A and B are shown apart, each in its own frame.
Chain A
Amino acid sequence: MKKRKLIASILAASMLVGLLAGCADNSSGGNETPSGGGETTPVEESQEPSGGETVDWANFTIDPAQIPQEKLDTTLYLAVSVRGLENPYIATINDGMHLFAEYLDSIGQKYEMQVLDSQGDSAKEVDNMRQFAAKANGNAIAYADPNEDTIAYSLAEAMAESGGFLGTAWNKPADVGPADLTPNWVIHTSPDNVVNGYNIAKALFESMGGSGKIFVVEGLLGNTANNNRVAGLEKALEEYPDIEVVAQDTGNWNTDEALTLVETWLTQYPDVGGIWCANDNMVTGAMQALDAAGLLGQVGVCGVDANTDVVAAIAEGNATATVSSNGYLQGGYTLAICYAAWTGLLDVEALPAEYREFATPTVLIDSPEAAKEWQAYEPDFDFSRPFDCRVAD
């Protein structure tokens, strides 16, 4: 009996190990070895535009003719490192990588691409990145959305160990940045979340005529994006003294939890005028609760992310506002800039600080017309001009 138990527990342990290894090793998909990738160390080959100080970085262009043929023939590994594709916004980042891959096809670059899915686990995200970078042997570029602030540097370091190039987005501590890991940590970009939170709040308050009661559904407490969006909301609240927050809690970015919150609050405050949500998943839940209470369309709702269903609701007049961070643009352009660095066309060391850390543009969708326009939006980018994604100061 004891022996059996022992065997069972060994089996369980080995299953666990296997499972974890299986999860972490989702980089094993393309086991094609990079053809002659080993000897190319792109860092040393910094070329052309590094010359004078008068480089017009905003108009920096990738000229395929200047990319050495051996680079084009080397298999380049592309990746986006994200929290999980079940989130519609994150899916658009993956779509952005595919758009960029089409560009690579057009210039004849050999590549392989993959999604590094951290499933919301910070340690796993770093492990994934390290394995991916090691496999690519320096011929790697990636977009990463660090699961938490603190791992941004570790991710860049994991990439730097084998000489690949990384661009991060959204989360990083204020006191570290791409400059600490030149040239491998190429850029860090983020849409301005304080502005996002402020803009949607303002649109909501305007729709309420500047006074009334609101519910606030926050995202994960302590998360940078949430904190900044709430800071934006608070800024707007100062400008509208007649708006009263009657209930505030966290829906943990989750549709289901937001539904429960709003459903419960509505029993207390059926006279609510608006609902501010920190993301669109939670807007979906809030709208469902309003619908059940027969209030859909009468109570304004706003969020961030421009989920398809929320944009459709704005077009129908059932929601007030949302903001698109344009995941296509974030994913695609980050890879484009990293690609320029990998080919050697872009000298990361010469790149000024404002081109290493900058804000990417967002689109405020706050009217049925704007919603219809966004629904018709087809991302079409010219990746040969990688810094087009930068919001000028």
Chain B
Amino acid sequence: MMKLNPAATITEEFAERIKSENRSARMMKLAPLMVLIGMIIVFTIICRTQFFSPSNLLTILNQMALPLVVALGLTFVIMLGSIDLSIDGTVGMAGSLFACFVLNTEFGFNLGFFSVVIAVGVCMLCGLAIGLCHVYLKIPSFMASFAFMYICKGIGMISYQGHPPTITDPVIKALPTTYWLGVPFITWVSLLMFVLCLFIQNYTAFGRHIYAVGTNESIPRSVGVSVEKVKIGVFVLAGFLFGVAGIIGAIRLGQGQIAIGSGKMFPAQAAVVVGGTSLAGGKGGVVNTIVGVLIMTVLDNGLLILGVDPNIRTGVQGIIILVAVILTVARGAKVISK
């Protein structure tokens, strides 16, 4: 791995090792950004103006909103070293409930903003339930959240019973075409969520506890931090963000459907990991995630503009994701990540 001076004392050797590790850690921190920039350069060269046209940049901003919010929620869960598989269900449920309770073609409710509260509230309750099952019933987060994916899908399906409500509220209908400073409204919402998460991560005790719990549970426990509360809090926060993502999805589609959530989980996982957050927990954060989400969105968009044959696009996408992960994931020689 590295050459050590055989004459060095143990102290010197240790200091050198730390230094080199710090150096490689700094490199690794920048790797995702490098991958993103590299990808943008490649697509710009191949597609020329089409990729960098203002309308396409706007499209990318539109397309990154929902994945970003989902990935933010997942980031905290992954930082704990846990996993949340409920995404497909919770996001779809939030979108469906939201569309059911605003002015729409199928149901008579017209609760306006209150429907946001309902949709997000139900998602937070689901997050709370996942957290409780995980912490107190000692069910692995993997299983608890997996079960809740089905539960939430079920709630979403019951909510509209096969007749998806099309949103008719004029204010909400206008949101996909609402811009502020040239940036779409839903992207502003996702950026607001990003700032909120960044604040929680960096400036609150809760945020630092997440890192601590993710690194080694017994340390925060020994200093009197309630590991249980931190874990449950993270799942509730994730539920909140999945709820917001579902509403963004419903606004974008103009319709409530359980399908808003389908296929959102693994791209979100990939975005978080490509961004450099370790699946083992304790490392990474929301800044990594925004880069990861951009990588995934740009990749999707670029391949589409290139007009790659749909039969091979999926495969190509997989290979590029794999390469990105290889380039960005910090690998210690000692531990194979879980």
Contacts and interface: CB of A to CB of B under 8 A. Distances in A.
A291 B175 CA distance: 11
B140 A8 contact: yes
A22 B50 CA distance: 50
A303 to B, nearest CB: 14
A285 B164 CA distance: 13
A90 B257 CA distance: 14
Contact of B164 (A88, A90, A256, A257): A88
Interface string A54-68: 000000000000000
Contacts of B258: 86
A254 to B, nearest CB: 6
Given A91-B162, A265-B304, A255 B147 contact: no
Interface residues of A, number: 47
Interface in A242-271: 247-250, 252, 254-257, 259-261, 263-268, 270
Contact of B257 (A11, A92, A255): A255
A255 B163 contact: no
B252 interface: yes
B20 interface: no
13 contacts: A8-B140, A86-B157, A86-B257, A86-B258, A88-B163, A88-B164, A249-B304, A263-B59, A263-B62, A266-B59, A267-B59, A267-B305, A284-B255
B53 interface: yes
Interface stretch (A12-20, A148-156, A183-191): A12-20
B162 A94 contact: yes
Nearest to B302: A264
B262 interface: yes
Nearest to A257: B263
A255 to B, nearest CB: 6
B142 interface: yes
A351 interface: no
Contacts of B260: 255-256
B150 A291 contact: no
Given A12-B142, A260-B300, A88 B162 contact: yes
Shortest Cβ-Cβ A-B pairs, 5 listed: A91-B162, A267-B56, A267-B55, A249-B310, A309-B166
A266 B53 CA distance: 12
Which size bracket describes the interface of B in this complex? Answer: 35 or more
A247 B254 contact: no
B4 to A, nearest CB: 35
Interface string B164-194: 1010000000001100000000000000000
Given A12-B142, A218-B310, A259 B253 contact: yes
Interface string A215-251: 0001001000000000000000000000000011110
A69 interface: no
Given A11-B139, A267-B55, A291-B177, A308 B255 contact: no
A15 B304 contact: no
Contact of A91 (B105, B138, B147, B161): B161
B162 A85 contact: yes
Contacts of A284: 166, 253-255
A209 interface: no
Given A221-B311, A256-B249, A265-B304, A15 B139 contact: yes
Nearest to B58: A267
A308 B105 contact: yes
Nearest to A117: B157
Interface string A274-316: 0000000100110010011010000000000000110010000
Given A12-B140, A91-B161, A264-B305, A292 B176 contact: yes
Nearest to A92: B162
B289 to A, nearest CB: 20
A47 interface: no
Contacts of A12: 139-140, 142-143
Contact of A255 (B161, B176, B259, B305): B259
A87 interface: yes
Given A12-B140, A267-B59, A285 B253 contact: yes
Given A264-B59, A284-B166, 9 more contacts: A19-B146, A86-B259, A87-B162, A88-B162, A263-B62, A264-B305, A281-B257, A294-B177, A309-B255
Nearest to B184: A292
Nearest to A89: B162
B44 interface: no
Nearest to B163: A88
Interface string B291-315: 0000000001100110100110100
A307 B161 CA distance: 14
Contacts of B105: 308-309, 312
In this complex, the member of B138, B163, B259, B300 whose beta carbon has the largest number of chain A beta carbons within 10 angstroms is B259
A294 B56 CA distance: 15
A16 B63 contact: no
B210 to A, nearest CB: 22
A247 B301 CA distance: 14
B212 to A, nearest CB: 21
B143 A292 contact: no
Contacts of A255: 253, 255, 257, 259-260
Contact of A268 (B146, B305, B311): B305
Contacts of B311: 221
Nearest to B138: A8
B93 to A, nearest CB: 11
Contacts of B150: 19, 23
A263 B58 CA distance: 10
Contacts of A252: 263
Nearest to A95: B162
Contacts of A292: 62, 176-177
Contacts of B307: 247
A268 B62 contact: no
A254 B262 contact: yes
A281 B259 contact: yes
